[in-house]
Structure 1
Amino acid sequence: MNDHQALWQRLKEENLVEKDNPSAPVSSTYLPIRIMQGFAGWIAMIFLFGFIGTILDWSFNDNEILFIMLGGIGNIIAFFIFRNNTNSDFIQQSGFVINLCAQLLVSWGIWELNNNSDAFNFFTLFLYQSLLALIIPNFTSRFLSTWFAMLLLFAGLAESGIYFLNTTLVSILFVTIWIKDEQWGKRSNLWSPIAYGLAFSLIQFNGFFIFGEEIYSFFRNYPSHWITPYTVWIRDIVIAALLIYLSQYIRQQLKIQLNSRLGIAITASSAALIILGHFITGLSGALLLLIMGLIKQNRLLISFGITAFIGFVSWYYYLLSMTLLNKSILLLVFGVCFGIAYFILNKLSSTQKESTHKTSTTRQSAWLLLAPLLIILVLVNANIYQKEGILKNGQLILLRLAPIDPRSLMQGDYMRLRFEIENSLLKTSEEDKYNTFDRYAVVTLNKNQVASFSHLYEGKELEENQVKIQFKLRYNRIRLSTHAFFFEEGTAKIYEPAKYGEFRVAEDGVLLLNNLRDKDFKVLGYNSP
């Protein structure tokens, strides 16, 4: 008896179904042939649209309305292809490519038609993608359109100076749709891909896995408006309300009294998570994914939550606006909250009817909850051990500090830094300054270990007084290991005469800032993140 048959048998025992187990349809086409047919559909449609696009570019380069009309026709063709629900993989994949190319034509036409208002274009394309998510009857197309819509909404709000409302709106939609998944019924083909698209968007906005640098650039390149500071509080209030709602939903499902010990523990955990979410930006999305996954016993949602949480921790570890001690305290409190959540899972298993399958499922859920914590602890400690090794055994070099805006020099308990070598590195990358890549440079050390730029590393053997260092080019900005130096609050004047930054360089070229020195190479103090 396979899993499908076992599930059907359990449903019959619970009197939820009456008919015999329906036989699952088996495709008569060999799987490799189906893959080849689908791939052939992609190749055929890409070449076809490439040919059509070339003709349009030559003949109708300035006709934006035509692009939009052709894109709309492509969407209609894709709609009828998917609506016929053909079993041909070639036709299905052809419809998918037609739909994507049509979206490209519409986006191109809208952008060329109105190139004076980026915000208007973003919001227009957001509505367009939202409409496609509702209309196009295909799981993958609806999933991608939902994701595209959330990205466009984010960009439009950022262009308008409202940076945090997108996460708020995505969270509301995510909870509203997923909490009522039992009511999807025959509309599951519509709501399921949209729900997963929203879940994927939460992962991205928490971990910045895809287009992370592009997303982060919106926070740097667009001006703030009067409403911008309030969006943070709006986001926190809405997320707090959602967490309270989910915690009370769990309590009601388990039939736990609010004034009982477990009820108080659930309420206290919710309050702690709300407070942590305010201080730790990006945590709330991972929490919503994890909690919803546990409520619905959905392994994919739990996996999404774990992925978002790992991405959040990897970003949070390098957050320069908070000391390592404060990070450790907050993560400790977060661990306590997870411990209470584990206790609640045990309570859930004891209050429900016992069966081998249910016990196994509960244990799996508990391990899914604890596994990310164990993985994170191992990764974080391994990373710390590696960094400490570099600080202890790495090659010592000194980089000259460059002038920086005095208003940005001191930021509470850390100092923003620039280094002279960045100007030389940027000049050597002039042709690619608006791209993103990681490269290596060779610096030459004088008798005082002060480094000066020599040339870009080409894999050749270095001289005795030369060191290879890694640098990153991000949209006309050079990044070394860090541009922030932490110090004890109230000691800023000690570091005002700083002229050099001491780095330790690993064998692979990675740099770590160790301390600052004055013009006489005297150590002023050590970096204390």
Structure 2
Amino acid sequence: MRRADDAQTNSLKAKLTQSGIVLNASTLPATLETPWFVRVLQAFSGWLAAFFLLGFIAIGGVFVVESAAASLGLGLVLIGAAFALLRAAHSDVLEHLALAISLAGQLLVGWAAIEHWNNAAYVWWSMLGLQSALALVMPSVTHRGFSAFAASVALYLAWVTAATGMAASGIVLCALTALWLNEFRWPRRIKEMQAWGYGLALGLLVTQGLAHAGHPLPFLYEALDSNLVRLGVWMSVGLVALAQLILFQALFNKQPLASVRWVTYAAGAVLLGVTFYVPSVGQGVVVMLLGFAIGNRVLTGLGMLSLMLAIGSYYYWLDATLLTKSIALLVMGTLLLGLRFGLHRRWEARIAHSSDGSVDNDA
């Protein structure tokens, strides 16, 4: 019997080791981490060195920007050099130096795309492809996060040219939700998954700010009289609903109560109705709930910031007097506090009832 237990334990250890999970970590020598202020100074040194280096290159190669082919070639060379430097980098100085060189190469590639195509949509789609590839292949967590952020912004700007920018935010929201819910599915890729997740979250927040700067309210859509814009609104609401469904299904695997499911689906339907008239509220709530579900405080904070930005934008652009706005805020705040109080009391009563039932069954 003991031999069987030892064999099973060894098999489990082998599987954990193959997945990249180190056992008996306490017996390994502790590594000293560099203080944050030293890392900031090293990052600043790397960017400063990169600016001097790129300045010398720019002085000797001004003619490059006059040719799309030369800009593309030099940009790809700089990106390749950054890739090689990142593979050999073992310090923050070299990593940030490589990141700055890569950024310069991306700008040259973008300039070549602008010179080649007169259509802004083609430029942004090409940048989306470039950033997506860099997010997958670059051997740096910082670079992967930055590329994921840039890819989400490029996707939004590409869809804006077709007057359906809000739908792009919905696509990023669905990708963000699915990514964070599968954070630990591949143990060897946890850092990369987190980098992509944070990059998409920041990109979603930035695109939300860009959308609000463009007056993304339904009553302003009516003034534009554009069917494509209305289609973008409907697509955005549908994608928010899909992200909700993905999140709810993951949560319901841990919550078998049918009554809780129906209440959750009803609340989700109400949220979708609000999202149609107050854009970005749905995505803010989904990101906040996602942060609560996986225990990520940073993601929860980003969701709360997104929600406040959506409500603040709606309050600012709403065509009503300050008295009407104040009364509306007072009523909504009172209703939300009452809803929170009622749900909290009901949840406590249900937990007490379940515990009493378990005690009776044990008796």
**TM-score bracket for the superposition, by shorter chain length:** 0.7 to 0.9
2:254: which partner in 1? Answer: 253
For 1:335-359, what per-residue CA distance to the aligned partner results, in whole angstroms no more than 9, with x for missing partners?
5555577569869998999xxxxxx
Gaps of 5+ in 2: 1-15, 356-363
Amino acid at match of 2:253: Q
For 1:191-217, what per-residue CA distance to the aligned partner results, in whole angstroms no more than 9, with x for missing partners?
2211111111222334x2xx678x528
CA pair 159-195 structure 1, distance change in 2 beyond 3 A: same
CA shift for structure 1 position 278: 2.2
2:358: which partner in 1? Answer: none
1:94: which partner in 2? Answer: 97
SS in 2 for 1:49: helix
CA pair 238-89 structure 1, distance change in 2 beyond 3 A: closer
1:424: which partner in 2? Answer: none
CA contact (8 A) 1:273 1:337 kept: no
CA contact (8 A) 2:45 2:93 kept: yes
2:32: which partner in 1? Answer: 26
CA pair 317-158 structure 1, distance change in 2 beyond 3 A: same
CA contact (8 A) 1:37 1:90 kept: yes
Within the alignment, does 1:51 sit opposite 2:51 as a pair? no
CA shift for structure 1 position 117: 0.7
Correspondent of 1:41 among 43, 46, 50: 46
CA pair 212-270 structure 1, distance change in 2 beyond 3 A: closer
CA shift for structure 1 position 131: 1.1
CA shift for structure 1 position 265: 2.9
Correspondent of 2:264 among 238, 249, 266: 266
Q: How many residues align?
A: 328
Correspondent of 2:195 among 193, 196, 201: 193
Task: Give the aligned CA root-mean-square deviation in angstroms.
Answer: 3.5
What is the CA–CA distance in structure 2 between the aligned matches of 1:341 and 1:17, rounded to whole Å?
Answer: 42
CA pair 192-224 structure 1, distance change in 2 beyond 3 A: farther
CA contact (8 A) 2:153 2:206 kept: no
What is the CA–CA distance in structure 1 between the aligned matches of 2:73 and 2:352, rounded to whole Å?
Answer: 60
What is the CA–CA distance in structure 2 between the aligned matches of 1:138 and 1:164, rounded to whole Å?
Answer: 30
1:513: which partner in 2? Answer: none
What is the CA–CA distance in structure 2 between the aligned matches of 1:342 and 1:65, rounded to whole Å?
Answer: 63
Amino acid at match of 2:109: V
Q: Which has the higher helix share?
A: 2
CA pair 82-265 structure 1, distance change in 2 beyond 3 A: same
CA pair 108-294 structure 1, distance change in 2 beyond 3 A: same
2:73: which partner in 1? Answer: 69
What is the CA–CA distance in structure 2 between the aligned matches of 1:138 and 1:19, rounded to whole Å?
Answer: 27
CA contact (8 A) 1:81 1:92 kept: yes
What is the CA–CA distance in structure 1 between the aligned matches of 2:24 and 2:346, rounded to whole Å?
Answer: 37
1:124: which partner in 2? Answer: 126
Within the alignment, does 1:297 sit opposite 2:303 as a pair? no
For 1:38-81, what per-residue CA distance to the aligned partner results, in whole angstroms no more than 9, with x for missing partners?
32222121011112113222x33421111111111111111122
CA shift for structure 1 position 327: 5.5
Within the alignment, does 1:276 sit opposite 2:278 as a pair? no
CA shift for structure 1 position 110: 1.4
CA contact (8 A) 1:269 1:337 kept: no
CA contact (8 A) 2:286 2:303 kept: yes
2:241: which partner in 1? Answer: 240
What is the CA–CA distance in structure 1 between the aligned matches of 2:135 and 2:103, rounded to whole Å?
Answer: 12
CA contact (8 A) 1:146 1:194 kept: yes
What is the CA–CA distance in structure 2 between the aligned matches of 1:187 and 1:344, rounded to whole Å?
Answer: 40
What is the CA–CA distance in structure 2 between the aligned matches of 1:239 and 1:151, rounded to whole Å?
Answer: 18
1:515: which partner in 2? Answer: none
CA pair 271-218 structure 1, distance change in 2 beyond 3 A: closer
For 1:104-147, what per-residue CA distance to the aligned partner results, in whole angstroms no more than 9, with x for missing partners?
11111211222x21111111111111111111121221112111
Amino acid at match of 1:134: L
For 1:392-413, what per-residue CA distance to the aligned partner results, in whole angstroms no more than 9, with x for missing partners?
xxxxxxxxxxxxxxxxxxxxxx
1:480: which partner in 2? Answer: none
> 1:237-386 alignment to 2 at 5 Å?
237-256=238-257, 258=258, 260=259, 262-321=260-319, 324=325, 325=327, 329=331, 333-335=335-337, 338=340
CA shift for structure 1 position 332: 5.0
Amino acid at match of 1:179: L
CA pair 266-276 structure 1, distance change in 2 beyond 3 A: same
What is the CA–CA distance in structure 2 between the aligned matches of 1:150 and 1:224, rounded to whole Å?
Answer: 27
CA contact (8 A) 1:204 1:308 kept: no
Amino acid at match of 2:50: M
TM-score by length of 1: 0.55
Within the alignment, does 1:171 sit opposite 2:173 as a pair? yes
For 1:434-485, what per-residue CA distance to the aligned partner results, in whole angstroms no more than 9, with x for missing partners?
xxxxxxxxxxxxxxxxxxxxxxxxxxxxxxxxxxxxxxxxxxxxxxxxxxxx
CA contact (8 A) 1:78 1:98 kept: yes
2:4: which partner in 1? Answer: none
What is the CA–CA distance in structure 2 between the aligned matches of 1:37 and 1:110, rounded to whole Å?
Answer: 33
For 1:236-294, what per-residue CA distance to the aligned partner results, in whole angstroms no more than 9, with x for missing partners?
122123224423432331222x1x3x444333322222222222212012111111001
What is the CA–CA distance in structure 1 between the aligned matches of 2:146 and 2:216, rounded to whole Å?
Answer: 22
Within the alignment, does 1:82 sit opposite 2:86 as a pair? yes
What is the CA–CA distance in structure 1 between the aligned matches of 2:207 and 2:352, rounded to whole Å?
Answer: 36
TM-score by length of 2: 0.78
